């Protein structure tokens, strides 16, 4: 190993990396299993073609047309001034930490939650505090508030629906954390479109909460993970603040054009959501019927207890051509809900594990 003078706080760390293995059934990164429909492929193709001659010029630095389309999609009276976009919600969250956290500041999340939140904290020199959820992975308002009071973080991450557990937060928890937090509160709603009926979005409480930021992505429900487009909704002052740290022209003209075309065909793209929710519910019922512990899911994935060593179960499923995710919770694995065929393959492989 060449001894490079990398930062002390990065030495010895491993990069984020879910295995990208070429197996028949890939259910480990919560992607949308359905490929992009023909009509959208055509629309994106045309939109990209129209940009090509102008690639000698920098793109719209403020991505105004795209942000306007995203605001229109979100509704809730939001406008271009409330919305910001970047290359995936990971980049949005990194920008939030760069501007509201960083060296000498603290971010708090409630583990187990999305594993990139602490890694983004490390990368931005932010001190990370691993807050705790309850034994059953729930989070009640009093427990969350006590931890916020104890650590007085500059940024609190809430994840709803939560990854890897799948369950949406009770809005009372978000309200209580907003009340108690001395700094910014980021609600990561990457999976919002899959929530069970009656689950409100934190977008509803944006008015009156200038320190609330809701992050969303086109990677999941929109089936646009390869397009890399994440965004946030917040008070316009937050959008102004992230301009201080964003790189100029961070969103390529091609990304902006592709995402705009995808948004204008959103009915076709989001048409898969109900089918995915049905597979999610089928997985939950089948695993529960088999006697396994399963977390309630408002997302396109399911966290389930394997009734033994999760590493061995992960391997055994992979040997049967089914790649799921070991999120590092002893005894638990996470599986993405995809097509009916993928569900069949997963459930059949699970049955074989029983024998």
Q: Which of residues 271-310 bind ligand PMP (CB under 6 A)?
A: none
Interatomic CA distance for residues 315 and 323, integer angstroms: 9
Segment contacting ligand PMP by CB under 6 A, of 62-70, 138-146, 217-225, 256-264 = 217-225
Residues 164 and 334: beta-carbon distance below 8 Å: yes
Q: Which of 28, 30, 33, 336 binds ligand PMP (CB under 6 A)?
A: 30
Let me know if 171 is exposed, middle or buried by CB neighbors in 10 A (0-12, 13-18, 19+).
Answer: middle
Tell me whether residue 235 or residue 325 sits nearer to ligand PMP (CB atom). Answer: 325
Beta bridge partners of 325: 334
Q: Does 147 bind ligand PMP (CB under 6 A)?
A: no
Q: Does 217 bind ligand PMP (CB under 6 A)?
A: yes
Question: Is 33 one of the binding residues for ligand PMP (CB under 6 A)?
Answer: no
Q: Which is nearer to ligand PMP, 286 or 303 (CB)?
A: 303
Shortest Cβ 31–ligand PMP spacing (Å): 9
Q: Is position 159 an interface residue for ligand PMP (rule: CB under 6 A)?
A: yes
Q: Is 89 among the residues that bind ligand PMP (CB under 6 A)?
A: yes
Q: Taking a C-beta distance cutoff of 8 angstroms, is the pair 212, 233 a contact?
A: no
Q: How far is the CB of 188 from ligand PMP (least distance, A)?
A: 5
Pick the binder of ligand PMP from 28, 32, 163, 297 (CB under 6 A). 163
User: Does residue 90 bind ligand PMP (CB under 6 A)?
Assistant: yes
Instruction: Please select the residue that binds ligand PMP; options are 23, 122, 205, 225, rule is CB under 6 A.
Output: 225
Q: Which residue is nearest to ligand PMP (CB)?
A: 88
Cα separation values, 143 from 28, 149, 231, Å: 30, 10, 29
- Rounded Cα distance between 136 and 158, Å, is 17
Side-chain half-sphere CA neighbours of 350 within 13 A? 25
CA distance 12 to 8: 9
Residue 24 tokens, joined: 């028949």
């Amino acid at each position: 190993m060449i001894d490079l003078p990398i930062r002390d706080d990065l030495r010895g760390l491993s990069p984020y990396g879910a295995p990208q293995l070429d197996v028949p059934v890939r259910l480990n990164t919560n992607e949308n299993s359905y490929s992009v429909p023909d009509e959208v492929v055509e629309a994106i193709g045309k939109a990209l073609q129209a940009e090509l001659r102008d690639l000698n010029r920098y793109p719209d630095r403020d991505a105004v047309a795209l942000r306007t389309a995203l605001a229109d999609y979100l509704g809730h009276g939001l406008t271009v001034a409330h919305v910001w976009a970047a290359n995936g919600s990971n980049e949005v969250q990194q920008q939030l930490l760069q501007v509201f956290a960083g060296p000498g500041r603290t971010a708090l999340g409630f583990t187990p939650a999305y594993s990139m939140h602490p890694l983004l904290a490390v990368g931005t020199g932010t001190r990370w505090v691993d807050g705790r959820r309850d034994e059953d992975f729930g989070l009640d308002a009093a427990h969350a508030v006590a931890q916020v009071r104890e650590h007085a973080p500059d940024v609190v991450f809430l994840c709803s629906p939560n990854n890897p557990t799948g369950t949406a937060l009770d809005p009372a928890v978000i309200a209580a954390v907003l009340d108690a937090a001395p700094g910014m509160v980021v609600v990561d709603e990457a999976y919002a479109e899959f929530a069970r009926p009656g689950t409100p979005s934190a977008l509803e409480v944006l008015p009156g909460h200038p320190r609330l930021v809701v992050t969303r992505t086109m990677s999941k429900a929109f089936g646009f993970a390869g397009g890399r487009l994440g965004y946030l909704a917040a008070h316009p002052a937050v959008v102004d603040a992230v301009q201080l740290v964003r790189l100029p022209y961070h969103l390529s003209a091609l990304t902006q054009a592709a995402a705009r075309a995808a948004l204008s065909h959103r009915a076709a793209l989001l048409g898969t959501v109900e089918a995915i929710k049905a597979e999610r519910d089928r997985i939950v019922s089948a695993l529960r019927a088999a006697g396994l512990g399963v977390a309630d899911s408002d997302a396109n994935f399911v966290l389930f207890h394997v009734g033994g060593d999760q590493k061995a179960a992960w391997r055994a499923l992979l040997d049967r051509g089914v790649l799921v995710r070991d999120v590092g919770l002893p005894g638990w694995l996470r599986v993405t809900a995809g097509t009916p065929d993928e569900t069949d393959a997963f459930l059949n492989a699970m049955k074989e594990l029983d024998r």
